[in-house]
C-alpha cells in the first residue's frame, strides 16, 4: 500500500527518505517519487519513477537533488495506472504545492469538476492531485494559511493521510490525517514523518501519532496540532523503542519460503509468550472476571487470511468455550445492521493492525461501547492503540506479501485464547490448559515435518506437473472448509492460477459440473470420524466423474489415501488443530507451483501487504 515519508530539519533529507521508503517497501507498491526544496535556492526539485525504489534511487543518486525539507512516496495504484504522471508527489498548477498521499479522496470527481471549471489543469488521473489544486485555490481565498487548511480538510471526503510541502513556505510542512495512519518522530531540531514508525526507528523514540481528523503545521523544532475545526490539540508524544533490523532472506531464495519455515518457531514463541503472561493477560485484554462470567457471545472480524483464521477459530470458541461465535468479513460487517451486545466479546484479527476495513469495523464497535480485543502481530499498530485490549502474536516481521507465519500464529493465538477463556469459565482444568499448549507445540512439529517429508517430491516432480493446470478447486468440510478457502487464496495470489474453494457438501448442488480431468481438486481432510465419512463420499463422487483428486489426508485414513491421485499424509494431531498441521505443506505446495511459473512471489502483482484503503 502507499507509504509516505517526510523530513524537516537540520540534515539533508534524501538519504533518510529513500531509506525510510525502502524499510516500508514490503507493503507493496508500483511506483515511487521524491521531492525536496533545494538546500540553497529553496526551489522545488523532484524525481519520480515507475517500478521499484531502486529505479528511483539510480535516477537520483548521482544528482544534486537534496534539501533540508523533503518527502517521498511509494504508490499502490487506486486512481490511475502505475506511471510517472500518476506517481507522487502531485502538484498544483504553479508547482508550488507538493503532496504525497496515502488513502482515497472519495469526492475527487466532484472536486475535480469544480477545479477544472475554475481553470485548473490536471496532469494525472490521481485523486491526490486534487488536494494540491484545491489548496492552491484556498490559499488565494483565505487570509491565513491555517484558515485555508481548515477549509481544505473539511472539503476532502474519504480516508487519507498526506504530507504537504509548499515552496512559498520553505520552513514548514503540513501533515494531515483522517482515518489513515501517520505519525511524526520528534528529533533534536528535526522531525521525521511516516505512515509507519519503522521508517524512522533508530532515529528517535519520541513519536506523536496524529489523532484522527487532525492536521499539523510542523517546523524543525515545533508542532502545531489542530482538529478539523481549527481548535488546537495537545497530544503527548509517546516513547516507543522501535528498532529497525534489516531483515534478510539469509540463505533462502525468498522471504515467503523463509517465513514458511519460520512457522514452527512462530508457534512456539507465541505459546511461550502467552504462558509467561500468566495473570497479567487480563490487563492486556482489558477483561474483568465479571465480563468473562457474563460472556455469552463472540464476534470475530478480519479480512483475507486473517478472516480465514477467524473462520477456523469459530470451531475453537464454540467447541472449547461453548460460546456461540460469529465470524464477519470486516468489509461487509461495517455495512450490515449491527446489534451491539455488551456481553459479547469482539475480536479483530489482523497481522498488520492497520487494514482499513478491519480498523473501521473496530471503530464502529468501540464507538458503541462494546469491548474489542485485537489480535495482531504489530505492537505499535493503530488497532492496538484503538482497541480495548490486545493479544500479540509472536510471528516476527512478515515481509512477503502473502501471509504464512502470521496465519499460523493467529491460529495459535485464537486456539490458546479459547482455552484460556474456557479455563477461566471452569470448563477445562489447568491440566487441560497445559495439554492445549503442548498440542500446539506438537502441531508446530507436524507442520514442519510434513514439509520435509514431501519437499523433494514437490520440488522435483509435483510443482512442474501442477503448474500446467490453469484452474484448481479446493474443498473441505467443517473445520477444513475455511482452510480450503485459505489454500485457494494462497495459490491464486502467488501463482495467478484461478482457484475456487467450496464446502465439499455443496459440490453436488451445482459446482460438480466443473469437474473434469483438467481441474485438480484438492481435498482437505478432517479428524472427526463422522465428517470424514461424509468427506469420503464427496471424494468418491469426484472420482466417479473422473476428477483429478489431490488429498491432504491423515495417516490412518486409508480409503481417502487410496482413492486420491496424489496424497499428502499428515500426522494425527488434536482434531481442532488439523488445519494448522496442514498449513506448512499447503503453503509450500502453492509456493513451488508459483516458483515454477516464475512469479514474483514476495511481491505478487497488484497486491499490497498492508491494505490501508477500503
Ligand atoms: C493474503 C493476505 C491478505 C491479508 C489481508 C488482511 O496472504 O496476506 O489476505 O490477510 O489483507 O491483512 P491483515 O491481516 O494485515 O489485516
| Atom of ligand 1 minimally distant from the CA of 410 | 14
Hey, is 121 helix, strand or coil?
A: coil
- Residue 46, pLDDT above cutoff 80: yes
The verdict on residue 160 lying in a domain is: yes
**Please, what is the average pLDDT of the chain?**
94
Q: How many CB atoms lie within 10 A of CB 161?
A: 24
Cα 11 to averaged position of ligand 1 atoms, centre (Å): 37
| Atom of ligand 1 minimally distant from the CA of 304 | 9
Q: Check residue 61 and give its pLDDT.
A: 81
Q: Could you report the per-residue pLDDT of 495-507, keeping only the tens digit for each?
A: 999 999 999 999 9
Closest CA to 457 of 552, 579, 589: 589
Task: Tell me what the mean pLDDT of segment 529-540 comes to.
Answer: 97
79 and 200, same domain (yes or no): yes
Q: Check residue 290 and give its pLDDT.
A: 87
Q: How far apart are CA 196 and CA 21, in angstroms?
A: 10
Q: How far apart are CA 220 and CA 7, in angstroms?
A: 9
Cα 429 to averaged position of ligand 1 atoms, centre (Å): 35
The verdict on residue 244 lying in a domain is: no
The verdict on residue 437 lying in a domain is: no
Q: Check residue 577 and give its pLDDT.
A: 98
The verdict on residue 169 lying in a domain is: yes
pTM for the model stands at: 0.87
The verdict on residue 291 lying in a domain is: yes
DSSP string, 305-359: HHHHHHHHHHHHIIIII---EEEEEHHHHTTS-----TTEEEEEEESSS--HHHH
| Atom of ligand 1 minimally distant from the CA of 402 | 7
Task: Tell me what the mean pLDDT of segment 583-595 comes to.
Answer: 98
| Atom of ligand 1 minimally distant from the CA of 490 | 7
Q: Check residue 2 and give its pLDDT.
A: 86
Query: Which residues form the pocket of ligand 1, taking CB atoms under 6 Å from any ligand atom?
Result: 302-306, 350-352, 355, 358, 402-403, 489, 493, 611
| Atom of ligand 1 minimally distant from the CA of 608 | 11
Cα 389 to averaged position of ligand 1 atoms, centre (Å): 21
Q: Check residue 245 and give its pLDDT.
A: 76
User: Range of 97's domain?
Assistant: 3-239
CA distances from 447 to 450, 451, 452, 551, 560 (A): 6, 7, 9, 16, 20
- Residue 30, pLDDT above cutoff 90: no
Protein residue whose Cα sits closest to atom 11 of ligand 1: 304
Between β-strands 3-9 and 190-194, what pairing exists: parallel, antiparallel or unpaired?
antiparallel
Question: 155, 264, 595, 609: which is the annotated catalytic residue?
Answer: 609
463 and 408, same domain (yes or no): no
Protein residue whose Cα sits closest to atom 7 of ligand 1: 402
The verdict on residue 614 lying in a domain is: no
Cα 404 to averaged position of ligand 1 atoms, centre (Å): 10
C-alpha distance across the termini of the chain, in Å: 11
Q: Note whether 444 and 267 are within 8 A (CB).
A: yes
The verdict on residue 248 lying in a domain is: no
Q: Could you report the per-residue pLDDT of 211-248, keeping only the tens digit for each?
A: 999 999 999 999 999 999 999 999 999 888 777 777 78
Final residue of a structural domain among 189, 210, 239: 239
353 and 483, same domain (yes or no): no
224 and 283, same domain (yes or no): no
Q: What share of the chain is helix, strand, coil (3-state, %, to 5)?
A: 45, 20, 35
Q: Check residue 257 and give its pLDDT.
A: 98
Q: Could you report the per-residue pLDDT of 129-186, keeping only the tens digit for each?
A: 999 999 999 999 999 999 999 999 999 999 899 999 999 999 999 999 998 889 999 9
Cα 350 to averaged position of ligand 1 atoms, centre (Å): 7
Hey, is 178 helix, strand or coil?
A: strand
Q: Catalytic site residue 342?
A: no
555 and 505, same domain (yes or no): yes
The pair phi, psi for residue 417, each rounded to 5°, is -65, -40
Q: Check residue 241 and give its pLDDT.
A: 79
Q: How far apart are CA 552 and CA 564, in angstroms?
A: 9
Final residue of a structural domain among 239, 267, 292: 239
DSSP string, 205-239: SEEEEPPSSEEEEEETTEEEEEETTS-B---PPEE
Q: Could you report the per-residue pLDDT of 337-386, keeping only the tens digit for each?
A: 999 999 999 999 999 999 999 999 999 999 999 999 999 999 888 999 99
Cα 282 to averaged position of ligand 1 atoms, centre (Å): 27
Percent of the chain with pLDDT over 90: 82
141 and 52, same domain (yes or no): yes
CATH number at residue 217: 3.60.20.10
Residue count of the chain: 614
Count of structural domains, the chain = 3
Q: Check residue 353 and give its pLDDT.
A: 95
Residue partners of 143: CB distance under 8 A and separation at least 6 = none
Q: Check residue 242 and give its pLDDT.
A: 74
Final residue of a structural domain among 379, 411, 428: 428
- Residue 28, pLDDT above cutoff 80: no
Sheet architecture: strand order including 97-105: 90-91, 97-105, 158-166, 173-178, 214-219, 222-227
Pocket test for ligand 1, best of 300, 303, 583, 609 (most atoms within 8 A of CB): 303
Task: Tell me what the mean pLDDT of segment 93-116 comes to.
Answer: 94
Q: Check residue 531 and give its pLDDT.
A: 97
Protein residue whose Cα sits closest to atom 9 of ligand 1: 304
| Atom of ligand 1 minimally distant from the CA of 303 | 6
| Atom of ligand 1 minimally distant from the CA of 305 | 10
Q: Check residue 84 and give its pLDDT.
A: 86
381 and 477, same domain (yes or no): no
Closest CA to 317 of 418, 424, 408, 427: 418
DSSP string, 16-81: HHHHHHHHTGGG--SEEEEEEE-TTT--EEEEEEES-HHHHHHHHHTS----SEEEEEEE--SSS-
Per-residue confidence band for 279, with pLDDT thresholds at 50, 70 and 90: confident
Q: How far apart are CA 586 and CA 567, in angstroms?
A: 12
Pocket test for ligand 1, best of 181, 263, 304 (most atoms within 8 A of CB): 304
Hey, is 393 helix, strand or coil?
A: coil
Q: Check residue 487 and give its pLDDT.
A: 98
Q: Could you report the per-residue pLDDT of 297-324, keeping only the tens digit for each?
A: 999 999 999 999 999 999 999 999 999 9
Protein residue whose Cα sits closest to atom 16 of ligand 1: 350
Question: 2, 36, 164, 443: which is the annotated catalytic residue?
Answer: 2
Cα 590 to averaged position of ligand 1 atoms, centre (Å): 17
The verdict on residue 609 lying in a domain is: no
Scan for cell 487410496, then name that residue: 562
Q: How far apart are CA 427 and CA 419, in angstroms?
A: 9
- Residue 579, pLDDT above cutoff 90: yes
13 and 159, same domain (yes or no): yes
Per-residue confidence band for 608, with pLDDT thresholds at 50, 70 and 90: confident
CATH number at residue 563: 3.40.50.10490
CA distances from 560 to 29, 357, 513, 514 (A): 43, 40, 22, 21
Pocket test for ligand 1, best of 76, 255, 306, 350 (most atoms within 8 A of CB): 306
209 and 108, same domain (yes or no): yes
Cα 377 to averaged position of ligand 1 atoms, centre (Å): 12
Cα 610 to averaged position of ligand 1 atoms, centre (Å): 7
Residue partners of 113: CB distance under 8 A and separation at least 6 = none
219 and 265, same domain (yes or no): no
Task: Tell me what the mean pLDDT of segment 252-259 comes to.
Answer: 96
Q: How far apart are CA 47 and CA 64, in angstroms?
A: 12
| Atom of ligand 1 minimally distant from the CA of 406 | 14
198 and 309, same domain (yes or no): no
Cα 605 to averaged position of ligand 1 atoms, centre (Å): 15
Q: Note whether 612 and 2 are within 8 A (CB).
A: yes
Q: Catalytic site residue 609?
A: yes
In this structure, of 124-133, 245-254, 360-369, 581-590, the range with the lowest mean pLDDT score is 245-254
Q: How many CB atoms lie within 10 A of CB 186?
A: 19
469 and 377, same domain (yes or no): no
Amino acid at each position: 500500500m502507499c507509504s509516505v515519508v517526510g523530513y524537516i530539519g537540520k540534515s539533508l533529507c534524501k538519504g533518510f527518505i529513500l531509506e525510510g521508503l525502502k524499510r516500508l517497501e514490503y507493503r507493496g507498491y508500483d511506483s515511487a517519487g521524491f521531492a525536496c526544496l533545494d538546500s540553497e535556492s529553496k526551489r522545488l526539485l523532484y524525481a519520480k519513477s515507475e517500478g521499484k525504489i531502486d529505479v528511483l534511487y539510480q535516477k537520483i543518486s548521482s544528482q544534486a537533488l537534496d534539501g533540508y525539507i523533503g518527502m517521498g512516496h511509494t504508490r499502490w495504484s487506486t486512481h490511475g495506472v502505475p506511471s510517472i504522471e500518476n506517481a507522487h508527489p502531485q502538484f498544483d498548477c504553479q508547482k508550488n504545492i507538493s503532496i504525497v498521499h496515502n488513502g482515497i479522496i472519495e469526492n475527487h470527481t466532484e472536486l475535480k469538476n469544480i477545479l477544472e471549471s475554475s481553470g485548473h489543469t490536471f496532469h494525472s488521473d490521481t485523486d491526490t492531485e486534487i488536494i494540491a489544486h484545491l489548496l492552491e485555490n484556498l490559499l488565494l481565498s483565505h487570509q491565513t494559511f491555517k484558515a485555508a487548511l481548515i477549509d481544505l480538510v473539511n472539503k476532502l471526503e474519504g480516508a487519507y493521510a498526506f504530507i504537504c510541502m509548499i515552496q512559498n513556505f520553505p520552513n514548514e510542512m503540513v501533515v494531515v490525517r483522517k482515518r489513515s495512519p501517520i505519525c511524526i518522530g520528534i528529533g533534536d531540531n528535526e522531525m521525521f514523518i511516516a505512515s509507519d514508525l519503522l521508517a524512522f526507528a533508530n532515529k528517535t523514540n519520541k513519536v506523536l501519532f496524529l489523532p484522527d481528523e487532525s492536521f499539523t503545521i510542523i517546523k524543525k523544532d515545533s508542532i502545531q496540532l489542530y482538529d478539523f475545526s481549527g481548535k488546537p490539540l495537545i497530544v503527548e508524544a509517546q516513547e516507543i523503542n522501535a528498532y529497525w533490523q534489516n531483515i534478510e532472506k539469509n540463505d533462502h531464495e525468498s522471504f515467503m519460503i523463509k517465513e514458511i519455515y519460520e512457522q514452527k518457531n512462530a508457534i512456539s514463541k507465541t505459546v511461550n509468550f502467552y504462558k509467561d503472561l500468566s495473570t497479567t493477560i487480563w490487563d492486556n485484554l482489558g477483561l474483568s472476571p465479571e465480563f468473562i462470567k457474563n460472556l455469552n457471545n463472540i464476534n470475530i472480524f478480519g479480512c483475507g487470511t486473517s478472516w480465514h483464521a477467524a473462520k477456523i477459530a469459530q470451531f475453537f470458541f464454540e467447541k472449547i468455550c461453548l460460546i456461540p461465535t460469529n465470524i464477519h468479513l470486516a468489509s461487509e460487517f461495517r455495512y450490515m445492521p449491527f446489534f451491539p451486545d455488551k456481553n459479547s466479546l469482539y475480536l479483530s484479527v489482523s497481522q498488520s493492525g492497520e487494514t482499513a476495513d478491519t480498523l473501521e469495523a473496530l471503530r464502529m464497535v468501540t464507538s458503541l461501547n462494546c469491548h474489542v480485543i485485537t489480535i495482531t502481530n504489530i505492537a505499535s499498530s493503530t488497532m492496538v492503540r484503538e482497541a480495548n485490549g490486545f493479544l500479540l502474536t509472536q510471528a516476527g516481521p512478515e515481509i512477503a506479501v502473502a501471509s504464512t507465519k502470521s496465519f499460523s500464529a493467529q491460529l495459535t493465538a485464537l486456539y490458546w485464547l479459547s482455552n484460556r477463556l474456557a479455563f477461566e469459565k471452569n470448563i477445562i482444568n489447568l491440566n487441560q490448559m497445559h495439554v492445549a499448549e503442548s498440542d500446539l507445540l506438537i502441531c508446530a512439529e507436524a507442520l514442519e515435518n510434513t514439509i520435509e517429508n514431501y519437499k523433494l517430491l514437490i520440488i522435483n516432480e509435483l510443482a512442474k506437473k501442477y503448474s500446467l493446470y490453469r484452474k484448481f478447486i479446493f474443498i473441505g468440510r467443517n473445520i477444513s472448509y475455511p482452510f480450503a478457502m485459505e489454500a485457494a487464496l494462497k495459490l491464486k495470489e502467488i501463482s495467478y492460477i484461478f482457484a475456487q474453494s467450496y464446502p465439499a457438501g455443496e459440490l453436488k448442488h451445482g459446482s460438480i459440473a466443473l469437474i473434469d480431468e483438467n481441474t485438480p481438486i484438492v481435498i482437505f481432510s478432517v479428524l472427526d470420524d463422522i465428517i470424514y465419512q461424509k468427506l469420503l463420499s464427496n471424494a468418491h463422487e469426484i472420482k466417479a466423474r473422473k476428477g483429478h483428486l489431490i488429498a491432504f489426508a491423515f495417516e490412518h485414513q486409508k480409503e481417502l489415501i487410496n482413492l486420491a491421485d496424489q496424497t499428502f499424509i499428515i500426522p494425527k494431531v488434536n482434531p481442532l488443530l488439523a488445519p494448522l498441521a496442514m498449513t506448512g505443506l499447503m503453503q509450500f505446495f502453492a509456493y513451488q507451483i508459483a516458483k515454477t511459473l516464475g512469479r514474483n512471489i514476495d511481491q505478487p502483482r497488484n497486491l499490497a501487504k498492508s491494505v490501508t484503503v477500503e
